[in-house]
Amino acid sequence: MARIAYDDTDAAAFASTRHLTDDSLTAWRQAVARHLAPQPGRRLLDLGAGTGNWAHAFTTWFPGLDVVAVEPSAAMRARATFRPALAGDAVAIPLGDDSVDGAWLSTVVHHVSDLAAAARELRRVVRPGGPVLIRSAFAGRHAAITLFRYFPEAVRVLDTYPGVAEVGSAFAGAGFPTASVEPVPQVTAPSLREAAVTLRREAHTPLQLITDDEYAAGVARLREAARADTGPVVDELDLLVVR
Q: What is the residue range of 62's domain?
A: 8-144+158-188+233-242
1, pLDDT greater than 50: no
Q: What percent of the chain has pLDDT over 70?
A: 93
Q: Is residue 112 assigned to a domain? A: yes
**Residue 236: per-residue pLDDT:** 98
**Residue 18: per-residue pLDDT:** 53
The answer to whether the pTM exceeds 0.95 is no
Report pLDDT digits (tens) over 111-130: 999 999 999 999 999 999 99
Q: Is residue 198 assigned to a domain? A: no
Structure confidence at residue 134 as a pLDDT band (50, 70, 90): very high
> The CATH number of the domain where 98 resides is what?
3.40.50.150
Structure confidence at residue 6 as a pLDDT band (50, 70, 90): low
Q: Is residue 202 assigned to a domain? A: no
12, pLDDT greater than 80: no
Q: Is residue 134 assigned to a domain? A: yes
Could you tell me which residue, 241 or 230, shows the higher pLDDT?
A: 241
Q: Is residue 216 assigned to a domain? A: no
Average the pLDDT over 58-87 and give the result: 96
| Measured distance CA(33)–CA(27) in Å, rounded | 10
Could you tell me which residue, 229 or 108, shows the higher pLDDT?
A: 108
The structural domain count of the chain equals: 1
Average the pLDDT over 45-51 and give the result: 97
Burial class of residue 210 (count of CB atoms within 10 Å of its CB; 0-12, 13-18, 19+): buried
169, pLDDT greater than 80: yes
